[in-house]
Amino acid sequence: MTDAPKSVTILGVTGSVGTSTLDLIERNPEGFRVEALTANSDVEGLAKAAIRTRAQLAVIGDESRFAALQQALSGSGVEAAAGAGAIAEAAARSVDWTMAAIVGCAGLSPVMEAVRRGGTVALANKEALVSAGSLMIEAVAAHDATLLPVDSEHNAIFQCLDMAALDKVRRIILTASGGPFRTASREAMASVTPEQAVKHPNWSMGAKISIDSATMMNKGLELIEAHHLFPISEQRIEIIVHPQSVVHSMVEYVDGSVLAQLGTPDMRTPIAHSLAWPQRMDTPCESLDFAKISRLDFEQPDLDRFPALRVAREVVIADGAKPAIFNAANEIAVAAFLERRIGFLDIVTVVEAVLHGYDPSVPASLDDVFAIDREARLRAQEWIKAKAA
Ligand code: NAD
Ligand code: MG
């Protein structure tokens, strides 16, 4: 890249998406200048990344780790800070590009800070958009910010969708790998362990999204995400299972043309697309070997074995507070499954129970969203406690 270096902030730098983002930036030292890096508790990973990239600021979410961060950064010239408020402040600093790669609704405040600053925000953190919904999209427009989708499916759609011809789009087709239990029976799924569930057949990702892929909650969250990112009605967004994860998603136009974006399952491709946008940049991602792949398979998702897809469809239609409840209950249920407090099939059961028992009014502000998120978490915890008793 020959332009002036882009200033960047990475929220959630120690995670799977954060690490891939850092990898691309470190391969192009002339192209980027790092402003701030944040992590939740991994002081060592954060400090090393900050020192290597000569970041201005490193922020750790867990305040009890502040002294450890200060020590790890002493003499480096990198400023240290701690706490959720400090992460939000870091996100508010002026930069050309922000990667939002925190997992869960914990990333919502920092994403909104970056949006309010009117910057370019590369969004991996789908839970933030699902929870805030149209409030985030309205803030993007009000502050003249740019939201670039990093989720591989949404990045694929972004690359294929002609925003000037939306009335000529027949449908959007979101592909889903089907996860590790694509062919498993409900009986078999009832007894799977966290170790089995985090083993995704194609992608290497953080634990939470890996479990979401196994339940197909991930595709449910992505349906809601697509509904907000692209002004296309929910009925025209379809989900198809594609076990090879080569076709990342598709857009069909009224003339019958279907445009797709393909690539190896490596998040560095969609991240690079957002990082260089509206240009392109090199990545070390392998080329697709079509002869070796030899075939691409597609199958209808099974809503009986994967009820998360049915629930997500109901949630996107109901809208209002439901997406925030859906996300919050799922975050608690996934954490409980990872801690072996509930079974795999209980995840969707908890989410549905919380959705049915809690019907607050439509959130009018971000504070409303946080209140709904908190209450849904409490209700999910109560359900889990009652089950264990
Ligand atoms: P991860 O668990 O590997 O990393 C999460 C990051 O967020 C870490 O840096 C962690 O320190 C930070 N974090 C966690 N909780 C936090 C908190 N309470 N406060 C502040 N920081 C916190 O997750 P990931 O797989 O990199 O996923 C990140 C986001 O990107 C998720 O929303 C996920 O759905 C989305 N995404 C991931 C992939 C993938 O391939 N991993 C693909 C598409 C979308
Ligand atoms: Mg995805």
String of DSSP letters for 138-197: HHHHHTT-EEEE-SHHHHHHHHH--GGGGGGEEEEEEEE---TTTT--HHHHHT--HHHH
CA of 11 to the centre of ligand 1 (A): 9
Q: pLDDT per residue over 166-197, tens digit each? A: 999 999 999 999 999 999 999 999 999 999 99
Pocket of ligand 1 (CB under 6 A): 12-18, 39-40, 42, 61, 87, 101-103, 106, 124-127, 151, 203, 205-206, 208-209, 267
For the chain, state the CA radius of gyration. 20
Q: Cα–Cα distances in Å, from 203 out to 33, 40, 266? A: 29, 23, 7
Check residue 283 and give its pLDDT: 98
- Burial group, residue 176, by CB count within 10 angstroms (0-12, 13-18, 19+): buried
Rounded mean pLDDT of the chain? 97
Q: Cα–Cα distances in Å, from 297 out to 177, 217, 240, 245, 246? A: 10, 21, 10, 10, 10
Tokens of 86: 């400090």
Check residue 2 and give its pLDDT: 55
Check residue 389 and give its pLDDT: 79
Residue 56's nearest CA partner among 73, 34, 72, 39 is 34
Work out the angle at residue 261's Cα, subtended by the Cα atoms of residues 249 and 315, and round it to the nearest 5 degrees.
Answer: 20
- pLDDT beyond 90 at 287: yes
Q: Which atom of ligand 1 is nearest to the CA of 218?
A: 34
CA of 291 to the centre of ligand 1 (A): 34
Q: pLDDT per residue over 306-365, tens digit each? A: 999 999 999 999 999 999 999 999 999 999 999 999 999 999 999 999 999 999 999 999
Check residue 201 and give its pLDDT: 86
State pTM to two decimals: 0.98
- Residue among 46, 205, 334 whose CB has most ligand 1 atoms within 8 A, to mutate: 205
pLDDT band at 387 (very low <50, low <70, confident <90, very high): confident
- Burial group, residue 371, by CB count within 10 angstroms (0-12, 13-18, 19+): middle
Place of tokens 């209450």: 375
Q: pLDDT per residue over 208-262, tens digit each? A: 999 999 999 999 999 999 999 999 999 999 999 999 999 999 999 999 999 999 9
- pLDDT beyond 60 at 1: no
- Residue among 103, 268, 374 whose CB has most ligand 1 atoms within 8 A, to mutate: 103
Check residue 204 and give its pLDDT: 87
pLDDT band at 142 (very low <50, low <70, confident <90, very high): very high
Q: What is the dihedral of CA 105, 224, 16, 65, to 10 degrees?
A: 0
Residue 380: which H helix or E strand, with range? helix 366-388
Q: Which atom of ligand 1 is nearest to the CA of 204?
A: 40
Looking at residues 277-283, what average pLDDT do you find? 97
Question: What CATH number should be reported for the domain whose range is 6-149?
Answer: 3.40.50.720
Number of residues that this document lists for the chain: 389
Q: Which atom of ligand 1 is nearest to the CA of 127?
A: 32
Q: Where in the chain is the domain with CATH 3.40.50.720?
A: 6-149
